């Protein structure tokens, strides 16, 4: 059916009007029409689209809800990691943060943007040519979940950006949250329907956004404030954080109306105290203040450490505290053998959850508190931090209160407990891989998704394998047979075969994953990646001295000692040898390996722009990096090549202006073929 020109124009006009009214209502909080008037416009557009299906567009306000329920969420890899923030809990930590910034950039006064830290769920929104194409959760910072259909139901999120000249691709990041009133209304509805009520607005927001049925998410009162960018391709962007917030607002995205430009640490702290006073009167929950260096170029030069940017800090509000009674003190054995005392408490509601356990950290902490079993204590919970005992109310100490005797032997395997660190504060079981508590936790860590990613090998199966004596260490996993596994509870032949297949599949891994999977104390994913990238081979890491290891950025003396000591233990070497003999392998890469191999593009800086038809951009980037190239996001005089695909943007223009060599896709493929054969 041919769509009349008048109908096509009217539909476009209605979409523009509705998008503008959404912007005024959700972003500016300044509506100019009533709700019934808005509904009449929306109904008119719905009727037009029903009459002419060709008028329906992905960014139409009528398309916010309508997708079918999902069976599960797909994974999304963040091209630019979604970093978490370092926390400060007192003013001295904020002052120290400001001092570090000033010393690094050599200035007397730093300009910051301060805004409330909304207590919600971090989300990224990707727009291509101004149209929303993907919404994803933060996840672990590297990989999240695709919740596109759900974020489309949130009316403060535009399906199409306002204005013109948007970047070809732009990823906007922010926080999805629920207001206090929305939370109360939702819980009233849950209660009336006989359903479980949510504990707090943050849990309600997270649970609502992760509904497999978008229609359920649409019923929840969710909102979003935006505050940062991730991946950006071909577009002029502001030079400061404060200007960025204004730009996001101009594009129709909601930002915090309380964000302010402040100078120096004194104004940061003054802003913090103002927000503490306003906290209870705000319509939405906040749990602190975020300070960010305003100059975006300085943000880039300051960089990040581990998983947190150096240029930003979360100044948390004072944690909620409650009093309760210590019923007992027990010790737990972690997967690295660390012995941690834990207080078993009379259950108490604090920080939005019921707390029945609190960490006591170490033997010295118990002595400092002069804590005894039966004491009344103050318990604090700050955000997602494990609850801790703040102090003892000694005036309420009963006569029968008992001192706690720290054990001299591991409560699980009875091996001797050894002490390390300053003044022997850290207690650790000496049983190593022979301690069943460590064995189970070590195995669970080894098979986890971010380690060796062995699908189907869950906690209960590991418990059975260890308790049956079938697995003594991580290498024994690869000796398991279908017949052995099929004999376990709740594991049929097909499931056993799938598990053996998963074990076989996991043998092809990466050096980074393998290092992380080994469970070396204080070696997380970031440190494992740094080791793999720098040394390139396991043998080089195993032979590195403590001084060598400390030469790497962000690896200090404690972590270097942990790594060095781990690879000097004979039983660890034996297990690694068994793993290699079972066929666990990875491609060797990294700085040292690349230099020794003299890769053809070593020292070259290459920029990609436009759309490639032969491969995705991620694949092109990976292939260039495998050849030794550095793949940058911006063009400069130091750029060696710019690879240009279809519909290139400003990067191609800048390359021409700077005289940088430009390769089209055909030339790029030819280059890969030529260099790949060397």
User: Can you tell me the distance from the alpha carbon of 283 to that of 181, in angstroms, rounded to the nearest whole number?
Assistant: 7
Provide mean pLDDT across the span 357-370. Answer: 90
Q: What is the overall mean pLDDT for the chain?
A: 86
CATH superfamily of the domain spanning 432-506: 5' to 3' exonuclease, C-terminal subdomain (1.10.150.20)
How many CB atoms lie under 10 A from the CB of residue 641?
Answer: 21
Q: CB burial class (10 A; 0-12, 13-18, 19+) of residue 378?
A: middle
Categorize the per-residue pLDDT at 433 as very low, low, confident or very high, splitting at 50, 70 and 90: low
CATH superfamily of the domain spanning 511-594: 5' to 3' exonuclease, C-terminal subdomain (1.10.150.20)
Domain 321-403 shares a fold with domain 598-676: no
Structure tokens at 456: 């189907």
User: Can you tell me the distance from the alpha carbon of 336 to that of 500, in angstroms, rounded to the nearest whole number?
Assistant: 27
Strands 312-316 and 87-88: parallel
- pLDDT for 677 equals 43
Categorize the per-residue pLDDT at 62 as very low, low, confident or very high, splitting at 50, 70 and 90: confident
- pLDDT for 491 equals 81
DSSP string spanning 591-657? HHHHHHHT-TTTT-EEEEESB-SSS-HHHHHHHHHHTT-EEESS--TT--EEEE-BS--HHHHHHHH
- pLDDT for 17 equals 86
> Mind listing the pLDDT tens digit for each residue in 84-96?
888 888 899 999 9
Categorize the per-residue pLDDT at 176 as very low, low, confident or very high, splitting at 50, 70 and 90: very high
Residues 417 and 425 sit within 8 Å (Cβ to Cβ): no
Please check the confidence at residue 596 and state whether its pLDDT lies above 50: no
- pLDDT for 306 equals 65
Q: Which of 195-199, 259-263, 395-399 has the lowest mean pLDDT?
A: 195-199
Please check the confidence at residue 20 and state whether its pLDDT lies above 90: no
Q: CB under 8 Å to 106, separation ≥6 — which residues?
A: none
Q: Which of 221-235, 408-422, 575-589 has the lowest mean pLDDT?
A: 408-422
Q: Which CATH architecture has domain 598-676?
A: 3-Layer(aba) Sandwich (3.40)
Q: Is 306 left (phi over 0), alpha (psi -120 to 50) or beta?
A: left
Structure tokens at 589: 């890469």
User: Can you tell me the distance from the alpha carbon of 178 to that of 181, in angstroms, rounded to the nearest whole number?
Assistant: 8
Write down the CATH number for the domain with range 5-63.
1.10.287.610
* Residue 446: strand, helix, or coil: helix
- pLDDT for 626 equals 73
User: Can you tell me the distance from the alpha carbon of 122 to that of 270, in angstroms, rounded to the nearest whole number?
Assistant: 26
Hey, CA dihedral for 343, 346, 351, 357, is it positive or negative? positive
Please check the confidence at residue 423 and state whether its pLDDT lies above 60: no
Categorize the per-residue pLDDT at 594 as very low, low, confident or very high, splitting at 50, 70 and 90: very low
Q: Domain ranges in the chain?
A: 5-63, 87-316, 321-403, 432-506, 511-594, 598-676
Nearest alpha carbon to residue 120 among 138, 132, 144: 138
Please check the confidence at residue 422 and state whether its pLDDT lies above 70: no
Categorize the per-residue pLDDT at 520 as very low, low, confident or very high, splitting at 50, 70 and 90: confident
Categorize the per-residue pLDDT at 439 as very low, low, confident or very high, splitting at 50, 70 and 90: confident
Please check the confidence at residue 175 and state whether its pLDDT lies above 90: yes
User: Can you tell me the distance from the alpha carbon of 246 to that of 294, in angstroms, rounded to the nearest whole number?
Assistant: 13
Structure tokens at 387: 């609850």
Catalytic residues: 117
Classified by CATH at the fold level, domain 87-316 comes out as D-amino Acid Aminotransferase; Chain A, domain 1 (3.30.470)
Structure tokens at 475: 């290498």
Cα-based angle 321, 187, 212 (whole degrees, multiple of 5): 105
- For 305, phi and psi rounded to 5 degrees? -130, 125
- pLDDT for 592 equals 47
Nearest alpha carbon to residue 606 among 655, 555, 540, 539: 655
> Mind listing the pLDDT tens digit for each residue in 308-326?
899 999 998 877 788 999 9
> Mind listing the pLDDT tens digit for each residue in 625-658?
778 787 877 788 889 999 998 878 778 888 888 8
Class of domain 321-403: mainly beta
Categorize the per-residue pLDDT at 70 as very low, low, confident or very high, splitting at 50, 70 and 90: low
- pLDDT for 676 equals 64
* Residue 606: strand, helix, or coil: strand
- pLDDT for 525 equals 83
Q: Which of 170-174, 330-334, 519-523 has the lowest mean pLDDT?
A: 519-523
How many CB atoms lie under 10 A from the CB of residue 653?
Answer: 13
Categorize the per-residue pLDDT at 67 as very low, low, confident or very high, splitting at 50, 70 and 90: low
Helices assigned H by DSSP within 35-75: 35-51
The more confident residue out of 571 and 496 is 496
Please check the confidence at residue 461 and state whether its pLDDT lies above 80: yes
The more confident residue out of 196 and 120 is 120
User: Can you tell me the distance from the alpha carbon of 497 to that of 519, in angstroms, rounded to the nearest whole number?
Assistant: 27
Structure tokens at 61: 């306000």
């Amino acid at each position: 059916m041919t769509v009349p020109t008048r109908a096509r124009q009217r539909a476009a006009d209605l979409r523009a009007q509705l998008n503008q009214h959404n912007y005024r209502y959700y972003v500016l909080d300044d509506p100019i029409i009533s709700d019934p008037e808005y509904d009449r416009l929306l109904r008119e557009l719905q009727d037009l689209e029903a009459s002419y299906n060709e008028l329906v567009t992905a960014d139409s306000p009528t398309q916010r809800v309508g997708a079918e329920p999902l069976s599960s969420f797909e994974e999304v890899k963040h091209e630019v990691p979604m970093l978490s923030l370092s926390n400060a809990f007192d003013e001295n930590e904020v002052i120290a943060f400001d001092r570090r910034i000033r010393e690094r950039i050599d200035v007397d006064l730093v300009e910051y943007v301060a805004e409330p830290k909304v207590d919600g769920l971090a989300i990224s929104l990707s727009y291509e040519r101004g149209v929303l194409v993907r919404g994803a959760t933060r996840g672990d910072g590297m990989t999240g979940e695709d919740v596109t259909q759900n974020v489309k139901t949130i009316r403060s999120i535009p399906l199409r950006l306002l204005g013109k000249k948007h970047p070809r691709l732009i990823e906007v990041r922010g926080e999805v949250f629920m207001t206090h009133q929305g939370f109360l209304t939702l819980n009233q509805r849950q209660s009336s329907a006989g359903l479980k009520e949510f504990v707090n607005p943050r849990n309600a927001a997270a649970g609502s956004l992760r509904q497999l049925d978008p229609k359920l998410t649409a019923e929840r009162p969710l909102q979003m404030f935006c505050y940062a960018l991730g991946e950006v391709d071909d577009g002029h962007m502001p030079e400061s954080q404060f200007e960025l917030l204004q730009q996001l607002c101009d594009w129709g995205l909601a930002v915090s109306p309380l964000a302010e430009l402040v100078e120096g640490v004194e104004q940061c702290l003054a802003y913090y105290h103002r927000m503490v006073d306003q906290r209870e009167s705000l319509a939405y929950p906040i749990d602190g203040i975020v300070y960010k260096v305003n100059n975006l170029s300085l943000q880039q030069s300051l960089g990040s450490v581990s998983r947190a940017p150096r240029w930003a800090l979360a100044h948390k509000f004072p944690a909620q505290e409650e009093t309760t009674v210590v019923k007992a003190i027990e010790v737990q054995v972690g997967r690295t053998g660390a012995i941690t005392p834990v207080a078993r408490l009379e259950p108490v509601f604090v920080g939005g959850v019921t707390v029945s356990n609190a960490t006591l950290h170490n033997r010295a902490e118990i002595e400092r508190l002069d804590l005894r079993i039966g004491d009344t204590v103050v318990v604090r919970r700050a955000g997602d931090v494990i609850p801790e005992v703040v102090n003892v109310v000694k005036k309420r100490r009963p006569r029968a209160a008992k001192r706690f005797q720290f054990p001299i032997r591991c409560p699980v395997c009875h091996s001797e407990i050894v002490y390390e660190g300053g003044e022997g504060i850290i207690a650790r079981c000496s049983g190593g891989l022979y301690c069943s508590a460590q064995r189970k936790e070590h195995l669970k860590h080894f098979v986890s998704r971010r380690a060796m990613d062995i699908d189907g090998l869950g906690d209960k199966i590991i418990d059975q394998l260890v308790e049956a004596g079938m697995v003594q260490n991580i290498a024994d996993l690869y000796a398991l047979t279908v017949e052995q596994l099929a004999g376990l509870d709740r594991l049929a032949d097909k499931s056993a075969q799938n598990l053996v297949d998963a074990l076989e599949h996991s043998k092809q891994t990466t050096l980074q994953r393998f290092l992380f999977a080994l469970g070396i104390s204080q070696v997380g994913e970031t440190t494992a990646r740094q080791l793999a990238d720098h040394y390139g081979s396991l043998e080089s890491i195993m032979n590195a001295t403590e001084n060598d290891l400390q030469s790497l950025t962000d690896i200090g003396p404690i972590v270097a000692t942990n790594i060095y000591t781990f690879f000097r233990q004979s039983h660890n070497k034996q297990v690694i040898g068994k793993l290699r003999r079972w066929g666990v392998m990875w491609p060797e890469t990294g700085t040292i390996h690349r230099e020794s191999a003299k890769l053809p593009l070593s020292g070259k800086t290459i920029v990609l722009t436009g759309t490639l038809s032969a491969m995705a951009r991620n694949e092109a980037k990976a292939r260039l990096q495998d050849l030794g190239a550095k793949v940058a996001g911006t063009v400069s005089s130091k750029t060696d090549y710019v690879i240009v695909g279809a519909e290139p943007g400003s990067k191609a223009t800048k390359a021409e202006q700077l005289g940088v060599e430009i390769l089209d896709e055909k030339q790029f493929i030819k280059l890969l073929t030529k260099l790949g054969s060397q």
